Structures are given as C-alpha cells and as structure tokens.
Amino acid sequence: EVVLVESGGGLVQPGGSLRLSCAASGFPFGTYAMSWARQAPGKGLEWVSGISYNGYATYYTDSVKGRFTIYRDNSKNTLFLQMNSLRADDTAVYYCAKNPARALLPFDYWGRGTLVTVSS
Amino acid sequence: QSALTQPASVSGSPGQSITISCTGTFSDVVHDDYVSWYQQHPGEAPKLIIYDVFNRPSGVSDRFSGSKSGNTASLTISGLLPEDEADYFCASYTSSITVDFGGGTKLTVL
C-alpha cells in the first residue's frame, strides 16, 4: 500500500523558513517522480514543484521560483521542500504526491497534507 | 490565475448524469493526452479518478468517465450517488513543462 506522510508544517513569520518532509512507503520511491501541491484555505489546488526520480531535474511554479527548493533522499525514501522568504500568500495545506516514473502527471497518490501558516 | 477554466458549480439529482468541463485558455494547454481529474471531499486529500484523458485507476467506479475535444476536457459522472458530492479538479501540463490545475468545480447532489 502506498503511504505518503507529510510533516514540518506550522506557524512561521513572514520572511521566515520551513522545511517540509514527506516520508514514502509501499513503492520503490527512487524510481518515481514526486511533486508538492498546495491548497490555500477555501481555495483550489495549486501545483508547487516537481522532481524527477533521481533528483536531477526540478520544476517550480513561477510564484515560488528562487524561494523554494525541492529535493529528495532516495536512500531514506523521503521528499523535501525547503521554503524560504515565506509570504502570507504561501499559507496553505501542502500535499506530497506521487507521480509516474518519468512524468509530473498524474498525481496518483496523495498524502494527507501539512498546514503551513505564514503570519505575524 | 489558472489557464484551465472549470465551472464553479454543477448539480444533479441522484441517478442523473452530469458533465464538468475543463477548458484551456491558451492554445497549447490541454492539447496533449495528459489531462487528469481529481475528486476531493471536504477535509480530505484529493483522489485521482481519471488520468490521460479517459483512463480510470484501479478501484475507481466506471460511473466516472473522461473525454476531450479540442481544448476542452470533460468529466462525466453517471448514475449520481450522494457520495459523489465533492469538489472536482482537472489538471494538465502548461507550455513551460509545469502543471496547472483548474479552479475546481463543486458538485452538489440534490
């Protein structure tokens, strides 16, 4: 059974940093691309970032480029999202999602999410 | 602002069929065969229900079907059940090899 568990969310002041983690199990983590998506309170889904199976290729939505970094540790079956220079509009539930081996679509499994609140 | 446009809401009675559209606002969005659809109940994570325009993952009811014509993809739910009441999102690639979601459609089962 595929299981994705996010952690690392919380309350942070504007301009601060957080690192999200996603622990994966139930599939050969190192052979699949992975993504982060987010959902602001009461809003729709927004894709944030994706990473290739080997970590060599990364992709970002424009609003987080230069502030967020996605990376992975295949030896520990863990995906990360380093978030710097956080802004109020980054407030959202952040979901980790599994992709196919060589693509960013579809998101075939999702974690339950972790809430990030950016506020003073 | 999403490049994929969905109706904000649709409704139907139990047993009826409804269709949710997902239209690309740029000529190169929704031009490929990688449109997927997600169902999200309140307080829960999204769930994949259709991928690559019309394919269903194992375990998803065959009451859910997908199609595409030109720049518009569609999700049809037949034989509506009360548990189908949820938000539905489409997703596709954009021209810059990133992913976009539609704004989402709230389905109400009357």
**Tens digit of each residue's pLDDT (9 = 90 or more) over A39-69:** 999 999 999 999 999 999 999 999 999 999 9
Dump pLDDT digits (tens) for A23-39.
999 999 999 999 999 99
Task: Check the CA dihedral A84-A89-A95-A100 and report its sign.
Answer: negative
pLDDT bracket for residue A96 (50, 70, 90): very high
Q: What is the pLDDT of residue A103?
A: 87
CA distance A14 to chain B (A): 23
Residue A103: its chain B contacts at CB < 8 A? 34
pLDDT tens-place string over residues B10-38: 999 999 999 999 988 665 555 578 899 99
Distances in Å between the Cα of A19 and the Cα atoms of A9, A112, A113 are: 8, 17, 14
List pLDDT tens digits, range B49-103: 999 999 999 999 999 999 998 888 999 999 999 999 999 999 998 766 789 999 9
Please name the residue that has the structure tokens 């239209």.
B23
Question: Chain B contacts of A104, Cβ < 8 Å?
Answer: 93, 97-99
